Amino acid sequence: MYRQMVLIREFENECYRQYMQKNVKGFLHVYSGEEAIAVGVMSLLEPQDYIVTHYRDHGHAIARGLDTKALMAELFGKATGVSKGKGGSMHLFDVKKRFMGGYAIVGGQLPIAVGLAMASKEKGENGLTICFFGDGAMQEGEFHESLNLASIWKLPVIFYCENNLYGMGASVSETYAGHDQIYKAGEPYKIPGVRVDGMNLFEVRRTTAEAVKHVRGGEGPMLIEAQTYRYRGHSISDPAGYRPKDEVEFWMTRDPIILLKKQLLSEGTATEEELKSIVKAAEEEIVAAVKFATESPFPEPAALHQEVYSH
Ligand SMILES: Cc1ncc(C[n+]2csc(CCOP(=O)(O)OP(=O)(O)O)c2C)c(N)n1
């Protein structure tokens, strides 16, 4: 899990570099700072489980085991990308891994999660759906409609709010009346909620494991609020000057990778050399991913209208 968290951080740092070199275009929202959530949650899932998420989706995709070469190629708009170069950063997808997409519309993935959970239940797959979203989605009507239906139909879905304290540029405390009790937002729909320290991998795993047991056991949906922080701006074009310096510094002291590293060393689970070699291997994997993306072809013009749906 340390390896995966480091790999996500290295991938995100490289995305920034590649964007500056104009190899990655369009929107880019990185997951740096939030790694413990994706990695902790995915470590508890089964192959039959579905995942849907928002546009800040690289970390979830890597944690679910999507190949970093195909992910980087997608960001480069290449035909070898996970969405054949047509999705880009915000629309990563892998149906075999039941990774059913990043979505650009805030809250748009919640009704999709409800549909996926209904499919799992109807088919008797013993599967559940994890639906990641940000604190900004709490203000969308879809949030409330989705929780209501999921509860009425007792669906196997975990609504997973990654509360990084900000939407695009405004603090959640200025935009959502229930900002200090997000985990209780399911109460009107009789959905139990819990809050977890999203910077602590072990806490994420412990809390999520209990929720997974509840939901897989047929007890209906749950809501989890993971408290976290994004280390970069909302997107690459946001210098994030609206955040107080001391707040940023505080959250930097809670870096999930550093916290995990300290714990692994103090417990004697790993040595400094072993952890260094994990970082080196991650760096090498990212270099290989960039090489693959660079050398891959762009989609043929004829592919433009293939696998594209409208309604
Ligand atoms: C329906 C809708 N409204 C507005 C936007 C513009 N928008 C994109 S991201 C964003 C902020 C969302 O913040 P949050 O859900 O907290 O997620 P975070 O980016 O912090 O992970 C907004 C308003 C959008 N994409 N979709």
User: pLDDT tens digits, the chain, 311 residues: what are they?
Assistant: 999 999 999 999 999 999 999 999 899 999 999 999 999 999 999 999 999 999 999 999 999 999 999 999 999 999 999 999 999 999 999 999 999 999 999 999 999 999 999 999 999 999 999 999 999 999 999 999 999 999 999 999 999 999 999 999 899 999 999 999 999 999 999 999 999 999 999 999 999 999 999 999 999 999 999 999 999 999 998 999 999 999 999 999 999 999 999 999 999 999 999 999 999 999 999 999 999 999 999 999 999 888 887 76
**Alpha-carbon distances, residue 27 vs 16, 55, 106, 229 (angstroms):** 11, 9, 14, 20
Cβ(136) to ligand 1 under 6 A?
yes
Cβ(142) to ligand 1 under 6 A?
no
Cβ(105) to ligand 1 under 6 A?
yes
* Angle ∠(162,90,43) on CA atoms, nearest 5: 50
Ligand 1 centroid from CA 168, angstroms: 6
Beta bridge partners of 102: 53
- Ligand 1 nearest atom to the CA of residue 235, by list position: 19
Query: The sheet that has 193-197: what strands, in order across it?
Result: 99-103, 50-54, 129-134, 157-163, 222-227, 193-197
- pTM beyond 0.95: yes
